[in-house]
Amino acid sequence: MAASPTARIGDEELVASAQKGDRRAFEELVERHKQKAYRIAFDFARDREEAKDLSQEAFLKAFTHISRFDGRSGFYTWFYRILVNVCLDYRRRAKRAPAEEYNETVEHQVDPTHVPANPVAPDQHAIAGQLWRRVGAALELLPAKQRTAFILKNHQGLSIREIAETMETAEGTVKVHLHRAVTALRQSLAEFA
């Protein structure tokens, strides 16, 4: 199967085409970033359907405001700032609900292109599930800015600079949020150490 012609083009060129009204260019941007967007949204919502809705809402906002993208940051940073704001708005509106576990096997059923990592033995899966639930509960207890910084750094691999741009704050502030988040998580997860 041949790759689409837009698959070889960089994000900047796709954004320029999308700003001129090329819907296929924006669709390619969605394709490139939808899985990461879903995972960030899931980290906030802890619910598969809500995560899908949040990531779709963020892409819709990005599409609606693509003409405002000025290129001062990369599309990735600009879009994830939108996504994080959508997720934070959701968190402010939502009542606390039971957290749902991210499960690679279930996610593979939702997204057949997702290939699970090495298969895990049942006892290891149970321990990992218990740890994942504890991590999710501990993340829920963090203040929003600490949780956001932690998720962007540790789940999405963004640099301190990228997180600062996304959160629209200083790099030093991001470092403080990360330090406090890690300290709180270590205390919450001490029994697993």
Supply φ then ψ for residue 168, to 5 degrees. 55, 55
- Provide the pLDDT for residue 108: 47
What local confidence, expressed as pLDDT, does residue 109 receive?
Answer: 44
The predicted structure's pLDDT at residue 163: 87
Question: 1-117 has which CATH code?
Answer: 1.10.1740.10
**How many separate helices (H) and strands (E) can be counted in the chain?**
9, 0
Query: How many whole angstroms separate alpha carbon 17 and alpha carbon 122?
Result: 48
User: Terminus-to-terminus CA distance in the chain, angstroms?
Assistant: 47
Sorted by where each begins, the domain ranges of the chain are 1-117, 118-193
Quote the tokens at residue 167: 């959160």
pLDDT per residue rounded down to tens, the chain (193 residues):
445 555 578 999 999 999 999 999 999 999 999 999 999 899 888 889 999 999 999 999 999 999 999 988 889 889 988 998 898 888 877 654 444 444 544 444 444 455 555 555 666 656 666 766 777 777 878 888 888 888 888 877 788 998 888 888 899 999 999 999 888 888 887 766 5
Q: How far apart are CA 149 and CA 145, in angstroms?
A: 6
| Sign of the C-alpha dihedral computed for residues 111, 113, 114 and 115 taken in this order | positive
How far apart CA 130 and CA 181 sit, in angstroms, is: 20
The reply to whether 118-193 shares the fold of 1-117 is no
Give residue 9's pLDDT.
85
pTM for the structure as a whole:
0.60
- Match 């997860």 to its residue by tokens: 189
CATH 1.10.468.10 fits 118-193, yes or no: no
